[in-house]
Amino acid sequence: MGKSNKLSDYIIIGPIINGLAWLGDITKVTLLSLFYIFLPPYRPKIFLAQLYFIGNGSLSVILLTGSFTGMVLALQMFEVLKRFSSESMVGAVVALSLTRELGPVLSALMVNARAGSSMAAEIGTMKVTEQIMAIESMAVNSYQYLISPRIFAGILMMPALNIISNVVGVLGGYFITVSLLGLDPGLYFNKIDDFMEVRDLVNSSLKAAIFGLILTVVGSYQGFNTSGGAKGVGKATTSAVVISAVLILAFDYLLTSFMIQS
Amino acid sequence: MITNNKANSKNTTTTPSEESFVKFVDVHKSFGDFTVFDGLNLNILKGKINFVVGRSGSGKSVMLKHILGFLQPDRGDIFIENKNTKLFNTKDWQKTRKKVGMLFQDSALFDSMSVFENVAFPIREHTKKSEKEIKELVSQKLSLVGLDKHHKKLPAELSGGMRKRVALSRAIALNPDLVLFDEPSSGLDPIVSSVVDKLILDIHSNLKSTFLIISHDMKGTLKIAHRVSMLYDGKLVFNGTSQELTNTTNPLVKQFVHGRLDGPFNIFY
Ligand SMILES: Nc1ncnc2c1ncn2[C@@H]1O[C@H](COP(=O)(O)OP(=O)(O)OP(=O)(O)O)[C@@H](O)[C@H]1O
Ligand SMILES: [Mg+2]
């Protein structure tokens, strides 16, 4: 240890340098893989399989988290708003919180846990069994073959899942406030109509698309950089989920601050 | 460099007319403190069946990975068709790889794809053949190795030897100019092993491609090799015909060929 003169071996500086190197490399891989989406050869079959994997596979999880989130939001907000005698606003509050924040963030975290992790495990296994080398040995670009269809599918499918999550969330809130708490049914949707703008939906979809990019890129990238057998695959999977989750929350803050200002 | 080549050609029957497909010139390669190549000079002759033998861990698989550009030498040069790979960009490597078919030591089949799709992969990627033509071609390649009835199976449902044979079909699917086989007959029963030997001879006489085969099977090697090279301690210690290998007086090579325990090899390396 003492003999090494590499900066990355020192405490504090080391992790920072390694982190920056990671960031630089994953940015490069992301840009390349985005670029390769538009270059031939196109592989629609692989892309559709990924769309199906992310979309269909995550649907049940999204329906569950979306509806429970909407329900619990409605329950909490109804109680709070009642103190100000403005419980009629509950529909608007639920809808806005869901589309602006909870919908994209929670669905991205759920899809990350499901699809991001399994991408890391699948690609990681391909790495350690030399399947990626085999792809390259047949003069096929492995980024284009493995990463591009995944991120493209993630960018397109996340907004769709997000919309579904928001819709069932709003419906869940409706069920709680109208059926259980006795709010006038017309009021719930009227207030949503009054307060929600097209911009909220656009921004929500934009967030979801960016989260879709993050979780697919990080899952694929950690898979690509797997080394050391089954243990390495496990490590890649865990790190992919954790890193994506942190990045999703950090980007959520960044994006929100831009969106609120403009 | 020149003196090196002369020294090599002294104990071989290489004539100037024998062109090399791949040429290692004074290649050095280490992983950390561990040296794999310590000045390796090696010629893979064009249109010939070249065998490379050597102890487990002597760097044979590492050598193949250098030829495909997955590893770069620390020092020295590798020439492919007389072009220095040091000057290769991504495009050049792609061009080279299209001409090469590689059988990986652990098969490296795509485990999410069926046997059929594995062999069809390079054909789909690099030709514009119709589905019918692909089917014919894949069937033909698979029947060469006796696996015509296993199209739909997944690699996980095959035995190790069967996987190896599928990987072999995939490696030759596009009739490559250079065939790299990393232990094609290890894990195969003696009969299939002879089938693979015969297959190599057949493909070779049909395509006139260059073969570079890594093998531990000395019997098969002596039977079909045009040229055998042996790696030891990061260097080339033998290079000659099978005949010369059988008659060698080099104690190191002799011990290896006969698998004896007594001799200059450090058996507990
Ligand atoms: N990526 C790598 N990183 C570090 N060391 C490596 C790497 N690849 C190979 N080695 C080391 O290089 C040496 C040669 O490995 P190689 O796989 O080429 O052996 P081999 O001659 O093919 O053996 P075998 O006949 O058992 O397949 C081994 O000691 C191995 O540990
Ligand atoms: Mg090997």
What single-letter DSSP state applies at residue A228? S
Instruction: Give the Å distance between the CA of A175 and the centre of ligand 1.
Output: 64
**Containing domain of residue A160, as a range?**
44-261
Residue A250: which H helix or E strand, with range?
helix A229-261
Q: Which residues of B touch A (CB under 8 A)?
A: 65, 68, 70, 94-95, 97-98, 100, 102, 104, 106, 108-112, 121-122, 125-126
Cα of A51 from ligand 2 centre, angstroms: 38
Does residue A20 belong to any structural domain of this protein?
A: no
Residue A1 has pLDDT above 50, yes or no: no
From the number of C-beta atoms within 10 Å of its C-beta (0-12, 13-18, 19+), residue B15 rates as: exposed
Alpha helix segments (H runs only) across A84-228: 90-97, 103-111, 117-128, 131-137, 142, 148-174, 185-195, 198-224
Residue B71: left (phi > 0), alpha (psi -120 to 50), or beta? beta
Residues of chain A contacting B97 with CB distance shorter than 8 Å: 136-139
| Chain B residue at shortest CA distance from A129 | B108
In a domain, A7, yes or no: no
Burial of B249 (0-12, 13-18, 19+ CB in 10 A): exposed
Q: pLDDT tens-digit profile of A100-147?
A: 999 999 999 999 999 999 999 999 999 999 999 999 999 999 999 999
Rounded to the nearest whole angstrom, what is the distance from the C-alpha of residue A101 to the centroid of ligand 2?
53
Is residue B262 helix, strand or coil? coil
| pTM of the full structure | 0.91
**Is A74 contained in some domain?**
yes
Report residues whose beta carbon is within 6 angstroms of any ligand 1 atom.
B 31, 36, 54, 56-62, 105
For residue B106, the one-letter residue type is: D
Instruction: Give the tens place of pLDDT for each residue, A19-66.
Output: 999 999 999 999 999 999 999 999 999 999 999 999 998 999 999 999
> Apex CA A23: angle with CA A17 and CA A25, to 5°?
100
Domain count, chain A: 1
B126 vs A125, A126, A139: nearest CB: A139
Report the gap between the CA of A141 and the closest CA in chain B (Å). 9
Of B259, B177, B172, the residue nearest B221 (C-alpha): B259
Q: Which atom of ligand 1 is nearest to the CA of B64?
A: 18
Q: Can you say whether residue B32 is alpha, beta or left, with left for phi > 0 and alpha for psi between -120 and 50 degrees? A: left
Closest atom, ligand 1, to C-alpha of B32? 4
A5 is a domain residue: no
Report if residue A11 sits inside a domain. no
* Cα–chain center distance at A223: 17
pLDDT classification of B14: cutoffs 50, 70, 90 = very low
- Does the beta-carbon distance from A131 to B110 stay under 8 Å? yes
Say what the pLDDT of residue A132 is.
Answer: 98
Cβ-defined contact of A134 to B110 (cutoff 8 Å) = yes
The single-letter DSSP state of residue B15 is -
Q: Please, what is the average pLDDT of chain B?
A: 90
